[in-house]
Amino acid sequence: MLRTSLSIAALAAACALIVTPSMFALPNGARSAKRSLAERLGYKATDKLLIINGDDTGMCHAANVATFDSLDNGLMTSATIMVPCPWFMEVARYARANPTRDMGIHLTHTSEWQVYRWGPVLGPSVVPGLVDPDGFLWGSVERVYEHATVAEAKAEARAQIHRAMKAGIDVSHFDSHMGTMQYRPDYHRAYLELAAELNLPVRMGSPETYARAGFPGIRDEADKLGLVYPDRLIHEENPEPGESRKAFWLRMIRTLKPGVTELYIHASLDTPEARAVTGSWKTRFEDYEVFTKDADVRKAIADAGVIRIGYRPLRDLQRKERAATQR
């Protein structure tokens, strides 16, 4: 789940569109009420586990180089790939050469930049509701909801994951670029159904996020499908006025709660390409520096006793638990 211009009020209004229970629940598939996720992963209930995910991998070369560096030499523990983007094949080559890296899919249904854009992997003729008059994916989540169907979005999401697998990527998990597959209940259910179909863990918002959005029961639906996901997502938190990116992330690390928390960054080098693509290049570069080269952040993680993990342990746990319920 990523930044979007959708308001909480809009999300609450959207939740009225679909209110029926999921029909894809597995018997006894809910996460254990007795054991925490940390315990099910082999840790103590009091342990603080942290996933540091690199979103927007594959978006451009500057994003790729920064993400690879942060995975290889920094603190990043997993990354999610924008399959429709022009620099996808560079990521596929990296993933094949580094099979132990946790590489997921950043399901992409929008193309938000002004002069650097992409279309669906299925093509405009197959998913016409997902493309704008120029043949690219829509520039905002709202336009996707106006023009596309849930079936089109789900089909494109499946195709993106299959393309990554065909390229030799051992997909560890997936999430949703700009939150398109999570900001409306019917889209979110399709997102969960796809996770169950492919037996992959997914990013989920924190309970408080869904409560404010107006569909607090969506995590229960994920549980019924036997899906595994982090306990919390650092998503709605933002720097205080005047607070630097480094100070913000230090504050987030020092206030982590026991359990599994995910945070995400959009790593990028500071290059002419990055500056031409996005106005957020400075924040992306700062976050890359913080989670790749900053000694104070490394020390804060060590001092807080934080254990960094990727998504692959969640995938292994999900597949083990779902297999046990289907015997």
Residue 152 has pLDDT above 80, yes or no: yes
Over residues 121-150, mean pLDDT: 98
| Average pLDDT over the chain, rounded to an integer | 92
Over residues 248-253, mean pLDDT: 98
Give me the domain span that covers residue 290.
Answer: 36-109+152-325
- Inside any domain, residue 61: yes
Pairing assessment for the beta strands 78-81 and 306-308 based on DSSP bridges = unpaired
Which residue, among 31, 86, 29, has the nearest Cα to 57 in the 3D structure?
Answer: 86
- Inside any domain, residue 145: no
Residue 14 has pLDDT above 70, yes or no: no
The DSSP code sequence of 140-204 is SHHHHHHH--HHHHHHHHHHHHHHHHHTT--EEEEEEGGGTTTSSHHHHHHHHHHHHHHT--B--
The CATH number of residue 262's host domain is: 3.20.20.370
Q: Residue 7 has what pLDDT? A: 43
Rounded Cα gap, residues 117 and 138, in angstroms: 10
- Inside any domain, residue 65: yes
- Inside any domain, residue 280: yes
Which residue, among 150, 162, 218, 227, has the nearest Cα to 196 in the 3D structure?
Answer: 227
Count the domains in the chain: 1
Share of the chain above pLDDT 70, in %: 90
What is the sign of the dihedral through the CA atoms of 302, 260, 74 and 182?
A: negative
pLDDT confidence tier of residue 76, bands split at 50, 70 and 90: very high
SS3 11: helix
For 31-72, how does the pLDDT look when each residue is reduced to its tens digit (9 = 90+)?
445 799 999 999 999 999 999 999 999 999 999 999 999 999
Over residues 14-43, mean pLDDT: 60
CB burial string 192-205: b at 16+ within 10 A, e below: bbbbbebebbbbbb
Residue 20 has pLDDT above 80, yes or no: no
For 174-202, how does the pLDDT look when each residue is reduced to its tens digit (9 = 90+)?
999 999 999 999 999 999 999 999 999 99
- Inside any domain, residue 24: no
- Inside any domain, residue 137: no
pTM of the model: 0.90
- Inside any domain, residue 19: no
- Inside any domain, residue 139: no
Q: Residue 34 has what pLDDT? A: 74
